[in-house]
Amino acid sequence: MLNLKTQKLMLKTFPKGGIHPAENKITSSNDIKRMSIPKVVYVPVSQHIGIPSEIIVDRKDKVEIGQIIAKSSGFVSSNIHSPVAGTVTKLDKIIDSSGYKKQCIVIRTDPKNESNFKIPEFPLVKEITLSQKDILQHIIDHGIVGLGGATFPSHVKLDMKHDKHVDCLLINGVECEPYLTADHRLMLEKADEIIIGIQILMQALHIEKAVIGIENNKKDAIEVLKKATLVDDRIKVAALKVKYPQGSEKQLIKAILKREVPKGGLPMDVGVIVHNVGTIFAIYQAVQHNQPLIERVVTVTGKTVESASNFWVKIGTPIKDLIEEVGGLPEGTRKIVNGGPMMGKAIKNTDVPITKGTSGILVISEEEASRQEAKNCIRCGQCVFVCPMGLEPHLLMNLTEKGLYERAGNEDIMTCIECGSCSYVCPSHRPLLDYIRFGKSIVKNLNTTKN
Amino acid sequence: MADPIIISASPHIHSNKTSKKLMYDVLYALIPAFLVSIYVFGISALILTSVAVISCILFEFLIQKFLLKTEITITDGSALITGILLAFNLPSNLPIWMIIVGSLIAIGVAKLSFGGLGYNIFNPALVGRVFLLVSFPVQMTSWPTAVVNNTTIVDAVTGATPLGIIKEGLMYGETMTTLSSKFPSTMELFLGITGGSVGEMSALALLLGGVFLIARKVITWHIPITMLVTMAVFTGIFWLVNPEQYADPLIHILSGGAILGAFYMATDLVTSPMTKKGMIIFAIGIGIITVVIRLFGAYPEGVSFAILIMNAFVPLINTYFKPRRFGNKIKSKIM
Ligand code: SF4
Ligand code: SF4
């Protein structure tokens, strides 16, 4: 009993704010399934932060699985590979998860091509033979971007032209969003690969210290990874308190290393690079097996979903295929979310494809979906208590509402990480984050025109 | 058929807390104290509270419907709470029309004229009470003594509150030793068999509700504990220096509505600061002002005034005691 207590006390966490929504990790104990090959894939050319990739195929071209179909068109950009073998049928604009029409490569899967149906097997390759430069090149070539949601091209973080001294690699296995279990399952099923992926990055970065942060509601993953790290004493596992947004980069760095990323700064400013566990696995696949990023783990879940589970899904698979796979859209569905319930985007139709940044598809039913009517602010301070960035959300909303953008800027509106804790907790159901987002976009414009 | 799919921005889930639920938690927390007051004062406590509650709700309805022509908010529970808290701060034998006047001031002046729930600066129930205290000092300070288990309306027997006895006694040159025989023991104060306002009777019952509020996360410990500790320290210093002239800290904390004020009035969400730092400053302020009024002012008790005075400082406190911004090494202006 005492042991349990001291263990709890030792859990690391960020110091201020945070909430604890119902975890609803319905899918955490089922193996990742393999999604059947979609008939058609819709591959957007802008799946990452930065410049959209440049299409290098044409209509009617035959493409092989893993072939580059759109090329990186700048430093902050990424290659995109064909997830299937088949024929390009269209280069078209379709609505993606952002709600806007985006350029897309439509490929019809060739049902006769065997490479589409072979289930790939990759034996564990422990030895890292590539040089630092080659590792970086592999990451660039194979189109690796951050799989935690931000989809930042991974090589950018690794290409340390900056003379900043980085001494620690943090691996984000927190998965603090309710419902999502993709990273959790991946850690359980691919622990050894993840460790090798970490070693690859440590070698590429000349870093001698790495910490994997995992929330304490994934005790099995903590155990498995602790065991897997026994081979390398430079890698540690940190159990973190279950608190949202523990997985936010800045909060994670603070929780594990007690370092605080300065306002407007990057993790690198405090000597840290953060990668998501999914990204690490993708890097392992790219470097050790020459596999481009053409599939990822996606949690398909929801309280009313018949057979919620995690799937290995080809990039470009329409969401409706996934929903079909779990038993169809349940009766009374009011919302479909791309991502988790706290930060994901609601999507209008299920033709939207899975991209490199899709960690989950969440189906929300009647009672949970509708927002209640906003009431007067009762000045309870709840939003202030839960804001992990130390902001005053009620004030920021108020200033935005009144058009006082300059003051909102002075109140640090730009440092809001859009975690949604404030809106989640407000007893008057005020749409705090909606206003703050709007305020941020205006303040951002003001700042750029000023400079 | 209309598109059944909702598109709205994240977050897509909510804590399910509503302001209404918070209000009802406050209501539940007040039940023990209410039962004690009925036990002590009999049916008059029930009548007083009912009149205050009904008139608060009715005034809110009438003013919003006919005067302001705005949305009617009587179901949010806040007028109900104001009514109860107002009643708890009044002597049980107050004439009914005065209760109604107090309710009108609380709802009409202190709440709705500022713009309704959330916009008011001062605690409405306390404004109502202080208005009555200033306008009708005699009726507001003649307290019926405890008539345990009496179901008839009490109005004949009146006596002073413990703090009143002390204040008056000391003015006539008596010492604490001689005075102590004239007012209830600490234990009686704690359990609530004494004279005073309807709801300030039993410290025990009030604490019970206070603990409930903290457990339900409606309030935090910061305001009540800081306020009571400040009072204890401050009165303690005087008592240690001259125990013949000053009452001991326990008497101060257990009487004169200190606990009612600390847990239910000062913690009013709307009129208290929004950060923990701010709450502590606010509560220290209330503690000090209360003691200053009690020891050196004209009134035997000062909690209501102290809270109202500090209410006025809340906007200022909120501007100066901001939460610490993440990644911002430069500390805010004052701290
Ligand atoms: S969304 Fe922004 S303002 Fe709201 S709690 Fe998160 S960081 Fe704070
Ligand atoms: S949580 Fe809502 S009601 Fe409370 S202070 Fe913030 S905005 Fe106002």
- Here the ipTM equals 0.84
* Same-domain pairing of A56 and A171: no
Q: What is the per-residue pLDDT for B148?
A: 44
The verdict on the CB of residue A433 being under 6 Å from ligand 1 is: yes
Closest residue in A to B321 (Cα) is A392
The verdict on the CB of residue A381 being under 6 Å from ligand 2 is: yes
User: Is-contact B30 B24, C-beta < 8 A?
Assistant: no
Q: For residues B138 and B319, which has the higher predicted lDDT (pLDDT)?
A: B319
**Closest alpha carbon to A279 in A253, A256, A249:** A249
Q: Where residue B300 falls among pLDDT bands split at 50, 70, 90?
A: confident
Q: What is the per-residue pLDDT for A152?
A: 84
Q: Where residue A159 falls among pLDDT bands split at 50, 70, 90?
A: confident
The verdict on the CB of residue A379 being under 6 Å from ligand 2 is: yes
- Domain-located, residue A223: yes
Q: Where residue B183 falls among pLDDT bands split at 50, 70, 90?
A: low
Query: What is the spatial distance between Cα A385 and Cα A393, in angstroms, rounded to a whole number?
Result: 10
User: Is-contact B189 B254, C-beta < 8 A?
Assistant: yes
- Domain-located, residue A85: yes
Distance set, CA A390 to CA A17, A416, B80 (Å): 8, 9, 34
Q: Which residue's CA is minimally distant from atom 5 of ligand 1?
A: A387
Q: Is the pLDDT of residue A163 over 80?
A: no
Q: Where residue B328 falls among pLDDT bands split at 50, 70, 90?
A: confident
* Percent share of chain A, pLDDT over 90: 55
* Same-domain pairing of A145 and A281: yes
Interface residue B16 vs chain A (CB under 8 A): no
Residue B67: DSSP 8-state? I
Among the bound ligands, the one closest to the CA of B9: 1
Q: What is the mean pLDDT of residues A86-94?
A: 89
Among the bound ligands, the one closest to the CA of B18: 2
Query: What is the spatial distance between Cα A423 and Cα A393, in angstroms, rounded to a whole number?
Result: 9
* Same-domain pairing of A417 and A352: no
Q: What is the mean pLDDT of residues A187-198?
A: 93
Tokens matching residue A374:
């906003």
Query: What is the spatial distance between Cα A213 and Cα A276, in angstroms, rounded to a whole number?
Result: 10
Tokens matching residue A246:
């523990």
Tokens matching residue B314:
């809340």
Q: What is the mean pLDDT of residues A239-268?
A: 92
Q: Is the pLDDT of residue A439 over 90?
A: yes
Q: For residues A444 and B198, which has the higher predicted lDDT (pLDDT)?
A: A444
∠ at Cα A339 (A421, A347), nearest 5°? Answer: 105
- Domain-located, residue A234: yes
- Domain-located, residue A359: yes
Indicate which of B3, B15, B220, B267 best probes the interface with A, i.e. most A CBs within 10 Å of its own CB.
Answer: B15
The verdict on the CB of residue A251 being under 6 Å from ligand 1 is: no
* Percent share of chain A, pLDDT over 70: 96
Q: What is the per-residue pLDDT for A1?
A: 44
Among the bound ligands, the one closest to the CA of A375: 2
User: Is-contact B247 B239, C-beta < 8 A?
Assistant: yes
Interface residue B77 vs chain A (CB under 8 A): no
User: Is-contact B224 B260, C-beta < 8 A?
Assistant: no
User: Is-contact B73 B60, C-beta < 8 A?
Assistant: yes
Q: What is the mean pLDDT of residues B63-75?
A: 86
User: Is-contact B333 B308, C-beta < 8 A?
Assistant: no
Interface residue B137 vs chain A (CB under 8 A): no
Interface residue B325 vs chain A (CB under 8 A): yes
Lowest mean pLDDT among A63-77, A363-377, B14-28, B265-279: A363-377
Outline where chain B has alpha helix (H).
Answer: 19-41, 43-62, 78-88, 96-104, 124-135, 137-140, 162-171, 176-179, 186-191, 203-215, 222-241, 249-254, 258-260, 276-296, 303-320
Distance set, CA A351 to CA A39, A160, A308, A316, A339 (Å): 13, 39, 19, 10, 16
| SS3 label, residue B64 | helix
The verdict on the CB of residue A238 being under 6 Å from ligand 1 is: no
The verdict on the CB of residue A124 being under 6 Å from ligand 2 is: no
Q: What is the mean pLDDT of residues B95-105?
A: 93
Lowest mean pLDDT among A165-169, A374-378, B44-48, B184-188: B184-188
Count the neighbouring beta carbons within 10 Å of the beta carbon of residue B108: 18
Lowest mean pLDDT among A94-108, B24-38, B267-281: A94-108
* Same-domain pairing of A237 and A213: yes
Q: What is the per-residue pLDDT for B185?
A: 64
The verdict on the CB of residue A171 being under 6 Å from ligand 1 is: no
Segment of A164-168, A417-421, B296-300, B330-334 carrying the highest mean pLDDT: A417-421
**Closest alpha carbon to B309 in B237, B254, B261:** B261
The answer to whether the peptide bond before residue B144 is cis (omega within 30 degrees of 0) is: no
User: Which atom, in ligand 1's list, is nearest to the CA of A17?
Assistant: 5
Lowest mean pLDDT among A127-136, A240-249, B193-202: B193-202
Nearest C-alpha of chain B: how many angstroms from A122?
38
* Same-domain pairing of A270 and A146: yes
Q: For residues A124 and A274, which has the higher predicted lDDT (pLDDT)?
A: A274
The label of the residue with tokens 């901001």 reads B322
Name residue A338's beta-bridge partners: A345, A361
**B22–A434 C-beta distance less than 8 A:** no
User: Is-contact A181 A175, C-beta < 8 A?
Assistant: yes
User: Which atom, in ligand 2's list, is nearest to the CA of A425?
Assistant: 1
- Domain-located, residue A231: yes
3-state secondary structure chain A: CHHHHHHHHHCECCCCCCECCCCCCCCCCCCCEECCCCCEEEEECCCCCCCCCEECCCCCCEECCCCEEEECCCCCCCCEECCCCEEEEEEEEEECCCCCEEEEEEEEECCCCHHHCCCCCCCCCCCCCCCHHHHHHHHHHCCCECCCCCCCEHHHHHCCCCCCCCCEEEEEECCCCCCCCHHHHHHHHCHHHHHHHHHHHHHHHCCCCEEEEEECCCHHHHHHHHHHHHHCCCEEEEEECCCECCCCHHHHHHHHHCCCCCCCCCHHHHCEEEEEHHHHHHHHHHHHHCCCCCEEEEEEECCCCCCCEEEEEECCCEHHHHHHHCCCCCCCEEEEEECCCCCCEEECCCCCECCCCCCEEEEEEHHHHCCCCCCCCCCCCHHHHHCCCCCCHHHHHHHHHCCCHHHHHHCCHHHCCCCCHHHHHCCCCCCHHHHHHHHHHHHHHHHHHHC
**How many Cβ pairs closer than 8 A exist between chain A and B?**
160
User: Which atom, in ligand 2's list, is nearest to the CA of A429?
Assistant: 2
Backbone angles phi, psi at B143, to 5 degrees: -100, 130
Name residue A153's beta-bridge partners: A145
Among the bound ligands, the one closest to the CA of A431: 2
* Same-domain pairing of A55 and A95: yes
**A384–B12 C-beta distance less than 8 A:** no
Q: What is the mean pLDDT of residues A441-445?
A: 91
User: Is-contact A65 A311, C-beta < 8 A?
Assistant: no
Nearest C-alpha of chain A: how many angstroms from B311?
13
Name residue A378's beta-bridge partners: none
Q: Which residues of A touch B8 (CB under 8 A)?
A: 335, 346, 371
Query: One-letter amino acid identity for A427?
Result: P
Query: What is the spatial distance between Cα A47 and Cα A96, in angstroms, rounded to a whole number?
Result: 10
Order of all β-strands in the sheet with A80-81? A54-55, A68-71, A80-81
Q: Which residues of B touch A387 (CB under 8 A)?
A: 323
Q: Which residues of B touch A263 (CB under 8 A)?
A: 325-328
- Domain-located, residue A43: yes
**B5–A381 C-beta distance less than 8 A:** no
Lowest mean pLDDT among A6-15, A64-73, A251-260: A6-15
Q: Is the pLDDT of residue A444 over 80?
A: yes
Tokens matching residue B318:
């909120």
Q: Is the pLDDT of residue A182 over 50?
A: yes
Count the neighbouring beta carbons within 10 Å of the beta carbon of residue A165: 8
Residue B133: DSSP 8-state? H
Query: One-letter amino acid identity for A124?
Result: L
* Same-domain pairing of A237 and A343: no
Segment of A388-402, B165-179, B252-266 carrying the highest mean pLDDT: A388-402
Q: What is the per-residue pLDDT for A423?
A: 95
Q: What is the per-residue pLDDT for A8?
A: 54
Select from A99, A346, A382 the Cβ nearest to the Cβ of B6: A346
The DSSP string of B271-295 is TS-SSHHHHHHHHHHHHHHHHHHHH
Q: What is the mean pLDDT of residues B180-194?
A: 62
Q: What is the per-residue pLDDT for A276?
A: 94
Tokens matching residue B282:
């606010």
Ligand 1 center–CA A250 separation, angstroms: 13
CA atoms within 13 A on the CB side of A313: 31
CA atoms within 13 A on the CB side of A5: 2
Interface residue B22 vs chain A (CB under 8 A): yes
* Same-domain pairing of A218 and A346: no
* Same-domain pairing of A133 and A277: yes
* Same-domain pairing of A285 and A298: no
Give just the sign of the alpha carbon dihedral A159, A163, A167, A170: negative
Mean pLDDT over all residues of chain A? Answer: 89
Q: Which residue's CA is minimally distant from atom 8 of ligand 2?
A: A377
* Percent share of chain B, pLDDT over 70: 81
Looking at the structure of chain A, the number of domains it has is 3
The verdict on the CB of residue A419 being under 6 Å from ligand 1 is: yes
Q: Which residues of B touch A412 (CB under 8 A)?
A: 325, 328
- Domain-located, residue A375: no
Decide which of A339, A368, A397 is a domain's last residue.
Answer: A368
Residue B324 C-alpha from the chain's centroid: 30
Nearest C-alpha of chain B: how many angstroms from A86?
33
The verdict on the CB of residue A420 being under 6 Å from ligand 1 is: yes
Query: One-letter amino acid identity for A19?
Result: I
Q: What is the per-residue pLDDT for B126?
A: 94
Decide which of A289, A310, A325 is a domain's last residue.
Answer: A289
Nearest C-alpha of chain A: how many angstroms from B190?
30
* Same-domain pairing of A106 and A152: no
CA atoms within 13 A on the CB side of B261: 29
CATH number at residue A93: 3.10.20.600
Interface residue B5 vs chain A (CB under 8 A): yes
Domain limits at A335?
A: 36-110+294-368
- Domain-located, residue A10: no
CATH number at residue A141: 3.40.50.11540
Query: One-letter amino acid identity for B303?
Result: V
Count the neighbouring beta carbons within 10 Å of the beta carbon of residue A269: 16
Closest residue in B to A262 (Cα) is B327
Q: Which residue's CA is minimally distant from atom 6 of ligand 1?
A: A419
Strand pairing category for B158-159 and B143-144: antiparallel
Nearest C-alpha of chain A: how many angstroms from B153?
38
Lowest mean pLDDT among A208-217, B30-39, B326-335: B326-335
**Closest alpha carbon to A409 in A450, A376, A373, A379:** A450
Q: Where residue A96 falls among pLDDT bands split at 50, 70, 90?
A: confident
Interface residue B65 vs chain A (CB under 8 A): no
The verdict on the CB of residue A19 being under 6 Å from ligand 1 is: no
The verdict on the CB of residue A425 being under 6 Å from ligand 1 is: no
Mean pLDDT over all residues of chain B? Answer: 83
Nearest C-alpha of chain A: how many angstroms from B129?
22
Order of all β-strands in the sheet with A101-109? A40-44, A101-109, A86-95, A62-63
Q: Which residues of A touch B16 (CB under 8 A)?
A: none
Query: What is the spatial distance between Cα B118 and Cα B112, in angstroms, rounded to a whole number?
Result: 10
Backbone angles phi, psi at A205, to 5 degrees: -100, -5
**Closest alpha carbon to A342 in A421, A396, A276:** A421
**Closest alpha carbon to A67 in A78, A80, A55:** A80
Q: Is the pLDDT of residue B334 over 50?
A: no
Which of A386, A436, A438, A441 to mutate for ligand 1's pocket (most ligand atoms within 8 Å of CB)?
A436
Q: Where residue A333 falls among pLDDT bands split at 50, 70, 90?
A: confident
Indicate which of B12, B20, B22 best probes the interface with A, i.e. most A CBs within 10 Å of its own CB.
Answer: B12
Q: Is the pLDDT of residue A9 over 70?
A: no
**A345–B14 C-beta distance less than 8 A:** no
Residues in CB range of A38: below 8 A, 6 or more apart: A84, A109, A314, A316, A317, A318, A321
Q: Where residue B292 falls among pLDDT bands split at 50, 70, 90?
A: very high
Q: Which residues of A touch B75 (CB under 8 A)?
A: none
The label of the residue with tokens 């929330």 reads A215
Ligand 2 center–CA B275 separation, angstroms: 12
Decide which of A317, A339, A368 is a domain's last residue.
Answer: A368
The verdict on the CB of residue A430 being under 6 Å from ligand 2 is: yes
Lowest mean pLDDT among A67-81, A128-142, A270-284, B134-148: B134-148
**Closest alpha carbon to A144 in A79, A222, A211:** A79
* Same-domain pairing of A246 and A283: yes
Q: Which residues of B touch A249 (CB under 8 A)?
A: none
